[in-house]
Structure 1
Amino acid sequence: MSICGIGIDHIDIAKFKSVLEKRRERFIKRIFTEKERELAGQKNFLMTLAGRYVSKEAVFKALSPAKNSGISWKDIEVLNEESGTPIVTLYGKALELFNEKNMKKIFISISHTNTCAFAMVVVEKD
């Protein structure tokens, strides 16, 4: 196995909060899957969604799609295993690209401070 993609992203929590305050329902429904929205309702809503948002950005960067790839926000879903470990599931165009590039595994780490959310993604292929 070899590394074929790396993605890193972060966001200021205050900035993310202001976006949510302006366009909350529309933004949340456009960006997050139903399961991600359910997860956010069970935990610290703001931090959970901020972490998922930067995770999706980091996955997108690691996949390195062409400009007009057609990948939507909901093609990338970030949930947690029972242990709490974050896990990425791809759908639609993101999954097609993953398979076309013979990618095999996605590793993800999400972290938060009081002011920022961060995510790092590494993608492996054969």
Structure 2
Amino acid sequence: MGILGIGIDILHLPRLKLALSRRPDRFLTRILTKAELTDFEQLKTELHGEVAHDRAVRFIGVRWALKEATYKAMTPRHKLTWQDVTVYKDQGKPCLHIPEKEKFGIGTAHCSVSHDGEYLVAQVLFESPEPPQ
């Protein structure tokens, strides 16, 4: 089992806010999968006011940055699209769901996100699959 690829992305959240202000529906349906859109709608119903807006931007930012890092980790081997990767949480930790990941030669996927103020950074590491015993 070796490292298949590593990707990293940094995002300036005010830039994302600007992009969202232009055509939010088009932007969201391009970037988020159906499962992520469902999670996003759930988040919006749970929160209100300025806190809700900041959390919504961070929610989208995490997915954007992780998908960008995923793309970088797989290039040039494969060029995954926004819709090829779903970001979800498992016990508070971000995780990636890539249907048929074996088709892309991906074994285990690791990811991490950190944010501070106006910046968010995401990193993805893919391991190659374990050889059959």
Query: Shared fold (TM-score greater than 0.5)?
Result: yes
- Secondary structure of the residue aligned to 2:102 is helix
After TM superposition, list the pairs within 5 Å mapping 1:47-62 onto structure 2. Answer: 47-62=58-73
Please name the residue that 1:84 is paired with.
Answer: 92
Q: State the Cα RMSD in Å.
A: 1.8
Q: Deviations over 1:15-38 (max 9, x none)?
A: 000000012100100110122123
Q: 2:83 aligns with which of 74, 83, 98?
A: 74
Q: Percent identity?
A: 30
CA distance in 2, matches of 1:110, 1:30: 21
CA distance in 2, matches of 1:56, 1:62: 10
After TM superposition, list the pairs within 5 Å mapping 1:9-28 onto structure 2. Answer: 9-28=9-28
After TM superposition, list the pairs within 5 Å mapping 1:90-105 onto structure 2. Answer: 90-91=98-99, 95=100, 98-100=101-103, 102-105=105-108
Please name the residue that 2:118 is paired with.
Answer: 115
- For these two proteins, the number of residue pairs brought into alignment is 118
Q: Deviations over 1:30-51 (max 9, x none)?
A: 1101221232341711101001
Measured after TM superposition, the shift of residue 54 of structure 1 is: 0.5
Measured after TM superposition, the shift of residue 103 of structure 1 is: 2.2
Which runs of no fewer than 5 residues in structure 2 stay unpaired? 45-54
CA distance in 2, matches of 1:61, 1:50: 16
Structure 1 residue ranges (4+ consecutive) displaced by more than 6 angstroms after TM superposition: none
CA distance in 2, matches of 1:101, 1:19: 31
TM-score normalized by structure 2?
0.80
Which residue type is aligned with residue 19 of structure 1? A
CA distance in 1, matches of 2:104, 2:34: 28
TM-score normalized by structure 1?
0.84
